[in-house]
Amino acid sequence: MLKQRKRILSLALMTAICLPAASIAAEGENDNKWYAGAGLGVSRLEPDRNGTIYSVADKSSAGFKLYLGYDWSEKVSIEGYYSDLGEAEMSPHGEVSYKDLGASGLYYFYQQHDERHKGWEAFLKAGLGWMKNDSELPYERVHNIHVMFGLGGGYTFDNGFTVRADIDLYDEDSQFLILSVAKRFGE
């Protein structure tokens, strides 16, 4: 039942993100641009020990994120990403690594200028991801597919480069704070 609710929530969320973008595109009011970015960050990882002898010795790790995006409209972008969140250290010994691959929609709720993607902007994001863990410890991944939420902000320069900070909430046991640089291509 919980799995079905998550699927329904995911479908409703993606529909809510995509419908406004599709209507704007149909009206011809968009100016499409691609962008790519990369960043470094700090993750908080807390695997469920589920009654084992293990405890989480270190919840923080360093990681990186790569992303490719498409500005669907003035207010909506679609982004594909790959995140390596690092590892959670377990005690008495061992570690669990986290990697995530997914797609998200970004909604820009604040933009400093009328001209698209210039100056300061802030956004909310939501999407679907696929989490992969690896460990020499015995573990069980309860669900690989998850809903992802986040928010961020940044500054876009006249030359198309953006410096941005994001917080991504991937699953109950993984969050990621990223500082990245992106470049917009096109007109």
- For the chain, the domain total comes to 1
Among 60, 52, 58, residue whose Cα is nearest residue 139: 52
Residues spanned by the domain of 19: 2-185
Quote the pLDDT of residue 97: 81
Quote the pLDDT of residue 96: 80
For the four alpha carbons of 37, 38, 39 and 43, in that order, the dihedral sign comes to: positive
| R_g over Cα of the chain | 18
User: Tens-digit pLDDT profile for the chain (187 aa)?
Assistant: 444 444 444 444 444 444 444 434 434 444 558 999 999 999 988 766 676 666 665 677 899 999 999 999 889 999 999 999 988 877 777 788 889 999 999 999 998 877 678 899 999 999 999 988 777 766 666 678 889 999 999 999 988 899 999 999 987 788 999 999 999 987 5
Among 39, 41, 162, residue whose Cα is nearest residue 108: 162
**Cα dist. 162→38, 119, 180 in Å?**
11, 9, 8
The CATH number given to whatever domain includes residue 72 is 2.40.160.20
Quote the pLDDT of residue 138: 65
Give the residue ranges of DSSP H helices in the chain: 2-27
On the 0-12 / 13-18 / 19+ scale of CB atoms within 10 A, 88 is buried
For the four alpha carbons of 139, 145, 150 and 156, in that order, the dihedral sign comes to: positive
